[in-house]
A and B are shown apart, each in its own frame.
Chain A
């Protein structure tokens, strides 16, 4: 997917102020990179090449460096995603407790059809992720920043409705 609209800068106004505050926490500008990328994602929903260039600029880094970092961390989106980004844990403990059924139910009820794809209405993208760190609350599902525990296939329809 390519960007068709003009790029809107992230680090202006209050966001810039927030970044400046974060910069005071570290001895280097580089150290604020992860936080800055979170702000970009919060503003744009994903991290485009243009956003990487802007981030590089404000932190005295290069776009090449920023890209290396962005692609290392799986939570940064390198492509636009649905309005609600759904992450389902399917690592061993959750797999033992039926995570696969939760995944199938989510794919069906969101209309995404397959993993990584965005639903035709643009509302959802569902992906499988490795351990979300809530193995005792299988199966945990993240709906954007909301962390939902103990999801079972029968709870999925209501859950999807809530975010539709």
Chain B
């Protein structure tokens, strides 16, 4: 940005320079200050109605709302002076006169902006004595959303999201004055694919998730940054777990990928992560039966199979497997004539979030097809499966073998199966190696725009299951083809060294926003 496009102002004594046209509320973030607010949201058009972000701009006749006041050179903004604090304390008091104090049974408690700001700046008692509060019954808004009107503070974030971002006019503000409430289309509901975002956007517990209803107190949750595997978009998410169980997925801000949002399909695509019917120990075939064993034995058996194979080998990998696992699978089979393939489940029809160009629930319902392609895998699962006939070795990495018959695999000399569940056809494997699922390991995925993004382990894997990168790296070492890797980061470092599209990348420089692969020597 050219120098002349920057303006310099002082916020709470801190001088900041921001692009012209920035609102004070955003500029304040640079000074390390979050100005309390409700209606403002960076992903929505400005409404300026909650009046919570009132601040003093020196020289102005009245307090100004930080969300709709442009920065200007030399402005002096006071966020915490007496007048501004009194005004915000008053807004909080006004909001609370009709807001029930049902925090003990409200799912929002603990991540409620009303609770937080009242704690931070509000008055300790109420002066709204003995009056009845507004009451309206809870309403099912459809989709995953319940509306609790009593808690509503009329910030209109939900209405603006549906109107301007989802661009499906389903919600409105009905009536006026203190009788106003959020109304809904008489014949439509919040079944829209992206409607669940209104729950995240709601600053209080007025719009709540049916799926998450009374499931946990949010302060009991552990939050882990991750990437959604529901499709090839690669929306950044947080995985919320409670006692090692995933209870909720929520969008994590990434302005390049999903901004503040995620679709409902992705949001509700988590129950499989908690499945109880997992493979919990390595298995080796003994007289046709799979028998549980320890890792040393299983790895030695698997390495022996690879070592003993010659000629053609087949790798059938999941398009959800990490870049790290796919890279090591290649390493493992480097001496063989390999046909390496993946498949991508497809659902016809993209579902875009109209107001955010480039964001959609994609037809490709897998998270790492672009990574697999970049690493040389072909989307030709059926071809590879045909080639399995007469092959010396088939290695399956995390594909569920759904739709694959016994006959299709019976022509191969040996089968090594790495997976989380044990499908029937995999029972003919010589070795079964239990691996972690995406929320049980660290790794990276490459989205459809060839953006490489990290995800972190959110829960422990069951039993003896280990991350695929660990299993494969142990095998590679066993075969004498490389050093053992102590972490996913080390695997990725090796990958970045070896694979041209990943050159220059590391876990450190990917950070939590990820980086696009170089298209022409450039990276984002």
Q: Do chains A and B touch in the complex (CB under 8 A)?
A: yes
By a beta-carbon cutoff of 8 Å, the part of chain A in contact with chain B is 49, 52-53, 61-65, 67-68, 71-72
CB distance from B285 to the nearest CB of A (A): 61
Do residues A67 and B169 form an inter-chain contact, with CB atoms below 8 A?
no
**Cβ contacts A to B, 10 pairs, < 8 Å:** A53-B187, A62-B169, A63-B185, A63-B186, A64-B171, A64-B184, A68-B173, A68-B174, A68-B183, A71-B175
Q: How many A-B residue pairs have CB under 8 A?
A: 37
Q: B175 — which chain A residues lie within 8 A by C-beta? A: 71-72
CB distance from A39 to the nearest CB of B (A): 20
Do residues A64 and B188 form an inter-chain contact, with CB atoms below 8 A?
yes
CB distance from B192 to the nearest CB of A (A): 12
B176 at the A interface (CB under 8 A): yes
Interface range, B side: 10 to 19
B170 at the A interface (CB under 8 A): yes
**In the assembly, what is the distance between CA of A53 and CA of B176, in Å?**
21
11 further A-B pairs in the complex, CB-CB below 8 A; given A62-B170, A62-B185, A65-B172: A52-B186, A64-B172, A64-B183, A64-B185, A64-B186, A64-B188, A67-B172, A67-B174, A67-B183, A71-B174, A71-B176
Q: A63 — which chain B residues lie within 8 A by C-beta? A: 185-187
Q: A67 — which chain B residues lie within 8 A by C-beta? A: 172, 174, 183, 185-186
**In the assembly, what is the distance between CA of A49 and CA of B187, in Å?**
10
Nearest chain-B residue to A50 (Cβ)?
A: B186
**In the assembly, what is the distance between CA of A101 and CA of B284, in Å?**
96
Q: A65 — which chain B residues lie within 8 A by C-beta? A: 169, 172
Q: B183 — which chain A residues lie within 8 A by C-beta? A: 64, 67-68, 71
CB distance from B172 to the nearest CB of A (A): 3
Do residues B186 and A53 form an inter-chain contact, with CB atoms below 8 A?
yes
Q: Which residues from 185 to 205 on chain B have a C-beta closer than 8 Å to any C-beta of chain A?
A: 185-188
CB distance from A137 to the nearest CB of B (A): 27
**In the assembly, what is the distance between CA of A63 and CA of B186, in Å?**
7
Q: B185 — which chain A residues lie within 8 A by C-beta? A: 62-64, 67
CB distance from B148 to the nearest CB of A (A): 19
**Residue from A62, A63, A64 whose CB has the most chain B CB atoms within 10 Å:** A64
**In the assembly, what is the distance between CA of A84 and CA of B175, in Å?**
24
CB distance from A151 to the nearest CB of B (A): 28
**Residue from A52, A61, A65 whose CB has the most chain B CB atoms within 10 Å:** A65
CB distance from B161 to the nearest CB of A (A): 14
**In the assembly, what is the distance between CA of A92 and CA of B402, in Å?**
77
Nearest chain-A residue to B170 (Cβ)?
A: A64
**In the assembly, what is the distance between CA of A130 and CA of B169, in Å?**
32
Q: B172 — which chain A residues lie within 8 A by C-beta? A: 64-65, 67-68
CB distance from B173 to the nearest CB of A (A): 6
Nearest chain-A residue to B173 (Cβ)?
A: A68
Nearest 3 A-B pairs (CB), nearest first?
A68-B172, A64-B185, A62-B169
CB distance from A72 to the nearest CB of B (A): 5
Q: A71 — which chain B residues lie within 8 A by C-beta? A: 174-176, 183
Q: B187 — which chain A residues lie within 8 A by C-beta? A: 53, 63
Do residues B176 and A49 form an inter-chain contact, with CB atoms below 8 A?
no
